[in-house]
Amino acid sequence: MIYADHNATSPLDPIAWAEMRPFFEGRFHNPSSPYTAARAAALAISDARRRVAALLDAEEEEVRFTSGGTESNSWALHIARAWNPERRHWICSAVEHASILEPLAALEQEGHRVTLLPVDRNGQLDMETLAHALTPDTALVSVMSANNETGILHPVAEIARMARSRGVPTHTDATQSVGRMPISFRALGVDLMTCCAHKMHGPKGVGALVARVGIDCAPLFRGGGQEGGQRAGTENVPAIVGFGRAAEQAYISSSERLSVLRAIVEDGVRARIPQAILVGAEADRIPNSSLFLIPGLDTDVVLAALDMAGVCASSGSACASGSSEPSHVLRAMGWLDGEKRAAVRISWGRFSTEQDANDLVNILSRIVLEIQVHERPPR
Ligand SMILES: Cc1ncc(COP(=O)(O)O)c(C=O)c1O
């Protein structure tokens, strides 16, 4: 099997699993309990916080553990709302993940205004539009670091500088870039940043919201005093431990290695399927992802044929699969223009090999040829 869908999720690093396992077994204690055995769990959380903070170039006290990217995104919006309850305008890119777009749509239902920043065919945001959209009523600008469907990177540091100069806080959803390329919370200059473990060979169901020192984080969940009283609920100790270890392992995951796999696929597809369009070819992208549009073919047919051939790949957001809705990302980029094109996203991880990338090119080009021959009308 070739697993080429790391933007959906990635396999758990066995080293992280080995470190997690004792916390499912003998070291099961509640980190808030007063006895010595429980102190090991509390220490393991501190250790994980130190490792995650190191990966993100953030202070330990800036890292709050959550259940993942979705919760961190919702919490970021909740915090921004509590900072400036009188502000009723929100800005995000038109290509954000559903976990930003949907809560903002709910705010719109409550009478708030939402500006979706447009992108061009290469996925680039128009900074002029952002400059015009910022008002004293803007509660938050939220722009993802890398898009999950295309891998295209956004100029988050520049956006944060512009917003800050206008007194508007910023958030970035860095779920897809953390662990795949160096990310510095400090250098980005945002107030809030989302990340999660399962895209970087950590366990599912754990992530973090990073909040700049001194920021008042209105709790999303109230209850016990966990996470400094800001995120109530008994900590998911094994998952947090696995996240910490995966964060440490991510240092080994060199962007250069992922770029080599991406180049094998992109060069191979260019040579063997010349009609395929590489989305965001002109844009900076995370090093592990390529999204191809193959003219004249049906997405479901190509993905099913890849599946039959033992290749796990998808068309884009895993959260949207199963729904027949076309991709809002491709729509925002102007690619849904009535032409039939199969969307195939290939995304690699630390355990992917050059053999995987070469085999994928062979299989995909064979499949495209076979479908074309099969669908060609008889003479
Ligand atoms: C950009 C982005 N943000 C947020 C999420 C949601 O993360 P989680 O699955 O940890 O809730 C995803 C997951 O695919 C994502 O790609």
Q: What is the pLDDT along the chain (379 residues), one digit of tens a residue?
A: 999 999 999 999 999 999 999 999 999 999 999 999 999 999 999 999 999 999 999 999 999 999 999 999 999 999 999 999 999 999 999 999 999 999 999 999 999 999 999 999 999 999 999 999 999 999 999 999 999 999 999 999 999 999 999 999 999 999 999 999 999 999 999 999 999 999 999 999 999 999 999 999 999 999 999 999 999 999 999 999 999 999 999 977 678 999 999 999 999 999 999 999 999 999 999 999 999 999 999 999 999 999 999 999 999 755 444 555 789 999 999 999 889 999 999 999 999 999 999 999 999 999 999 998 887 766 6
Measured in Å, residue 96 CA sits from the centre of ligand 1 at: 10
Model pTM score = 0.96
Ligand 1 atom showing the smallest separation from residue 96 Cα: 1
**Exposure of 164 in the CB half-sphere (CA atoms within 13 A):** 13
Domains 2-9+253-375 and 14-249 share a fold: no
Residue pair 291/344 in contact by the 8 Å Cβ criterion: yes
Task: Identify which of 148, 145, 121, 155 has the alpha carbon closest to the alpha carbon of residue 280.
Answer: 121
In the residue annotation, 217 being an active-site residue is answered as no
* Domains of the chain by residue range: 2-9+253-375, 14-249
Ligand 1 atom showing the smallest separation from residue 99 Cα: 4
Beta strands in the chain (DSSP E): 2-3, 63-66, 89-93, 113-117, 138-142, 170-173, 192-196, 207-211, 277-278, 289-295, 311-312, 341-347
Ligand 1 atom showing the smallest separation from residue 68 Cα: 10
Judged by DSSP in three states, 269 sits in helix
- Please state which of the four CATH numbers 3.90.1150.10, 3.40.1160.10, 3.40.640.10, 3.30.390.50 is assigned to the domain occupying 2-9+253-375: 3.90.1150.10
Ligand 1 pocket (Cβ < 6 Å) reads 68-70, 73, 97, 99, 144, 148, 173, 175-176, 196, 207, 318-319
Q: 14-249: what fold?
A: Aspartate Aminotransferase; domain 2 (3.40.640)
Measured in Å, residue 321 CA sits from the centre of ligand 1 at: 14
